[in-house]
Amino acid sequence: METTIDIVLLTFLCITAMAIIHIRKLFCAIMLLGIFSLLSACLFVTMDAVDVAFTEAAVGTGISTILLLGAMGQTNAHEKRPPYQPILALLVVLVTGSILIYGTMDLPAFGTPDAAIHLHVAPRYIQQSPIEVGPPNMVTSVLASYRGYDTLGETAVIFTAGIALVALLSAPYKKNELAVKNEQGSLSTIQPATLHDHLILRIIGKMFIPFILLFALYVQFHGDYGPGGGFQAGVIFASGIILYSLIFGLDTAMRVISPTALRLLGAAGLILYIGVGILCILNGGNFLDYNTLASRPVDGQHLGIFLIELGVGTTVFAIMVTMFYAFSFRGRHST
Amino acid sequence: MTWVGHYNYWGAIFLMMSGFYVVISRGNLIKKLIGLNIFSTSVFLLYISMGKIKGATAPILTEAARLSPTPQLYSNPLPHVLILTAIVVGVATTAVGLALTVRINERYGTIEEDEIRAKDDSL
């Protein structure tokens, strides 16, 4: 049964990918990419990766689609047909694909328990993490405690990407002489209709937003016991704010939470993470060695994981909303 | 017939090559970014496929599993951790790419690669 679901979902994924290649309307391609993400999230669930599925569903179908649409609205909604047939590209892809498939011949079959990947560090994580670290969700233990350095790095990358995006999009807008208006008339010339006029959307949105935010907080603080954690919670909280801003307009949303506050929050989350690490050093341990934070090591682990998940959640939330603000603000001023 | 068990890897490779094809054959910069997204999702699939064990469950300890006499089999949590963070980092880097695309459009008035190159050459 599991195998059947797996193969059906994989087939759907392949069909969606083919449709994305084929279609020339960027709007359709972006929507199909959202479906693609949702399908892959389902596939992750069948492969026991519930935390990953959670993240993919929140990021792939929510934030990523919104950002792509934001960029499309400011550029061009239609892809031009290239003047040549990309036969060489097809050839390169076919050759690379066959080499990769030849490479998989040596891999252990899908789902075998004695594959090399399951024999190295995984038994330690599975058997010892509930005793050494505490949280029943092993993914949280590995993410926040065993591989805390990695997660710190990833959080820093997200923060840096946010800075880069703000730097790129907050430069003063100057229309170059070179820029010629597209003959088809790009979407940016059409003033976007505000969703505020849609009565049903407005009422339903108003009802949903508190629950989305509450759910994000649940995901944040329940990440030790079930699927969830700072990354997912940050993205879900951000999608609540983005929904608010889509329905009630950018100005209202910016009054609720200002871009300056978001930038401070983004930095504060990262500083909280690093601060916990330094606190561990001051208490006589190594960087991010939570055992030193409390008298009992397991309590220390619990406190440390709670704090750094909070830091991750804050940074991810702030950076995601900052990115959305930057795109929509640019879009309004470029028209 | 041991290679029949590789269907998940083959699916991932097919998707990887679809994304790769979009990146190298399409001139539209947003379409290229969509292709990159497909490519990265296929890599996520490959990693998660490797972590899966047949008959195992999600790596979350439950009270029932702790009390049961037979040890419960869990899928490998390590790839989950790596991919979970990679997804969020992926969307952040995609956003930077999109910001670059928007700026290129402001400069050149187009996001088609060959038109951008033609404008560069005409200067």
Mark yes or no for CB contact B88/A164 under 8 Å. no
Residues of B in contact with A323 (CB under 8 A): 92, 95
| Cα–Cα distance measured from residue A279 to residue A34, given in angstroms and rounded to the nearest whole number | 41
Give A78's strand partners.
A25
Closest residue of chain A to B56, computed from CA coordinates = A48
Enumerate the domain spans of chain B: 2-122
Sign of CA dihedral B112, B114, B117, B121: negative
Segments in chain B below pLDDT 50: 1
Report the candidate in B8, B63, B56, B31 with the shortest Cα–Cα distance to residue A50: B56
Residue A224, H or E segment? none
The mean pLDDT of chain A is: 87
Structure tokens, A313: 């959640």
Query: Which fold would CATH assign to domain B2-122?
Result: Helix Hairpins (1.10.287)
Closest C-alpha among B91, B93, B123 to residue B107: B123
Quote the CA–CA distance of A43 and A47 in Å, as a whole number.
6
Give the single-character DSSP code of A212.
H
Specify the DSSP class assigned to residue A173: P
Q: Which residues contact A84 (CB under 8 A, 6 or more apart)?
A: none
| Average pLDDT value over all residues in chain B | 89
Q: pLDDT tens digits, residue range B7-40?
A: 889 999 999 999 999 999 988 999 999 999 999 9
Q: Using one digit for the tens of pLDDT, what is the confidence trace for A140-156?
A: 888 988 999 999 999 99
pLDDT at A180 over 60: no
The structure tokens listed for A196 are 């505020």
C-alpha pair distances (Å), A166 with each of A172, B80, B92, B96: 12, 30, 12, 9
Q: What is the pLDDT of residue A333?
A: 67
Sorted by where each begins, the domain ranges of chain A are 1-79, 136-172+192-335
* Interchain contact, B25 vs A76, CB within 8 Å: no
Contacts of A142 in chain B (CB under 8 A): 77-78, 81
What is the tens place of the pLDDT at every residue in A55-84?
A: 999 998 889 999 999 999 888 878 887 767
- pLDDT tens digits along A253-265: 899 999 999 999 9
Is A217 a residue whose pLDDT tops 60? yes
Say whether pLDDT at A191 is over 50.
no
* Record: contact A109-B5, CB cut-off 8 A: yes
Of A26, A52, A179, the CB nearest to B106: A179
Mutate to test the interface with B, among A9, A79, A231 (most CBs of B within 10 A): A79
A75, A84, A91: best to mutate for the B interface, most B CBs within 10 A: A75
Assembly ipTM: 0.93
- Please compute Rg for chain A using Cα positions: 23
Q: Across the interface, do A136 and B61 touch by the CB < 8 Å criterion?
A: yes
Query: Considering chain A, what percentage of its residues have pLDDT values greater than 90?
Result: 51
A34 and A63 Cβ atoms separated by less than 8 Å? no
- A-chain residues within 8 Å CB-CB of B1? none
Non-local (6+) Cβ contacts of A145 within 8 A are: A129, A133, A290, A301, A304, A305
pLDDT at residue A296 tops 80: yes
- Whether residue A123 is predicted with pLDDT greater than 50 in this model: the reply is yes
Cβ distance of B41 and A14 shorter than 8 Å: no
Within 8 A of B116 by CB-CB distance, chain A residues are none
Query: CA B4, B8, B12: angle at the middle one, nearest 5?
Result: 130
Helices (H), A170-296: 199-221, 230-248, 250-256, 259-282
CA–CA separation, A264 and B9 (whole Å) = 43
CA–CA distance, A75 with A197 (Å, rounded to integer)? 25
Please report the pLDDT score of residue B4 as a whole number. Answer: 64
pLDDT value at position A122?
A: 87
- Chain B: residue nearest A113 by CA? B53
Tell me the C-alpha distance between A274 and A269, whole Å: 9
